[in-house]
Amino acid sequence: MTWTRITINPNQMGGVPCLRGLRIPVATVVGMVAEGMTNEEILRAYPDLTANDIREALAYAAEALRERELPLVPAP
């Protein structure tokens, strides 16, 4: 997949993936969605973002999880 909104700059935010060169990490946006915030709430909190930024952040996070194994607690 081609990422048009995700940027990584080693001199900005410790090199973590951010949105469009802004100092807004992908993880921050994904966390806000996980906490139940709506797109509208996220866009109010970060007016520089767009709905497309949120979508791409979620797609990027999903792809990142496909690429690695995470430690999980076994089901009972």
Note the pLDDT tens digit of each residue in 47-68: 999 999 999 999 999 998 887 7
Torsion angle (degrees, nearest 10) of CA 59, 66, 27, 70: 160
pTM for the whole thing? 0.86
Q: Do 42 and 33 form a contact (C-beta atoms < 8 A)? A: yes
pLDDT of residue 69: 67
**In order of start, what are the domains of the chain with their CATH numbers?**
18-62 (1.10.10.10)
Tell me the pairing of strands 18-19 and 6-7. antiparallel
